[in-house]
Amino acid sequence: MSFFMDAEVTLGVKLLEVIYIIIGLITLYTGIKNALDKENPARIGTAIFWCSLGIILSFGRWIPPVANGVLIVIMTLPAIFKKVKIGKTSEPTEEYTKKAADKIGMKIFIPALSIGVFAIIFAIATDLGALVGVGFGILVSIIVLMAFSKDNKPKVFLDDSERLLSTVGPLSMLPMLLASLGAIFTAAGVGDVIAGAVGKVIPKGNVTIGIIVFAVGMVLFTMIMGNAFAAITVMTVGIGAPFVLAYGANPVLIGSIALTCGYCGTLCTPMAANFNVVPVAMLDMKDRFGVIKNQVLLAAIFLIFQILYMIIFS
């Protein structure tokens, strides 16, 4: 309890930790449920994966770093050997789903919108942060859904969370791992290496070429990392700061638009699992790259527009 009683730790950080604990407990429930599910063809491996992840998410702050590292290694083994499977699920019948949809109608979007709305409100109007706002928005959405139907009891939300996690599987970890990889790359000096290599190509003082290389680099590095937030730190250190910002370009404009250039790379890579792989799995699409194929042209158009915008207004 010393962490939650520490006056130097902000309320936002404490609340965010509570959210992580709740997520971890849901993940632990997923592991235990699959361990007891005799219909799951790989229930032991599935249980090991989800329980290890749940322990890290809930109690990682208080577990020694070495122990966390061991749990992560243990967690990866079932995923590597494809021993994380979906067990028995309790999906509602098609008839029930249609009946509920007819009753609720367009109001079904209110819970989803509440998450985004509260994330924005908390980010702008409080010091707690957008992630805490997301957690609060989820709480509001649960209350709204319970008001929509008396069938929406707490166990329904718990089982649906388990079903979603089981459907996505180990890919649910990819965004977190890629974000961590970005921090590791930055600490390892990858940005400085990129700066040295690019400096041999970009003429000094040519901001236009610097912007183009920065934007395209963000796309390519995001495609590798799968996460624009992971790429922006490395690319800003390596290209943005020395070849664009150093010559007087507007840092606010360049920084924000370069990040959205990275999102163009997000649209084109399977590494962005939560955008391009998870929908394929959830919709059981035959073409594994079907989502990406429908996004590539739009990504190219967006990238060209953003490069021109930076060149004109920076």
- With 0-12 / 13-18 / 19 or more C-beta atoms within 10 angstroms meaning exposed / middle / buried, residue 81 is exposed
Q: How far apart are CA 240 and CA 249, in angstroms?
A: 10
Residue 81 above 70 pLDDT?
A: yes
Mean predicted confidence (pLDDT) in 238-255: 88
pLDDT digits (tens, 9 = 90+) for 138-159: 999 999 999 988 888 888 899 8
Residue type (1 letter), 57: L
Q: Is 21 exposed, middle or buried (0-12, 13-18, 19+ CB in 10 A)?
A: middle
Predicted local distance difference test score (pLDDT) of residue 179? 67
Determine contact, residues 258/310, Cβ cutoff 8 Å.
Answer: yes
Token pair for 74? 């243990």
Of the chain, the percentage scoring pLDDT greater than 70 comes to 97
Nearest CA to 47 out of 20, 87, 90, 89 is that of 87
Check pLDDT > 90 for residue 185.
Answer: no
pLDDT of residue 110: 92
**What is the pLDDT, as a whole number, of residue 166?**
87
- When pLDDT is averaged across residues 28-54 and rounded to a whole number, the result is 92
Give the pair of three-digit tokens for residue 119.
């994330």
What is the band of 298 on the pLDDT scale with cuts at 50, 70, 90? very high
149: phi then psi, degrees, rounded to nearest 5: -150, 135
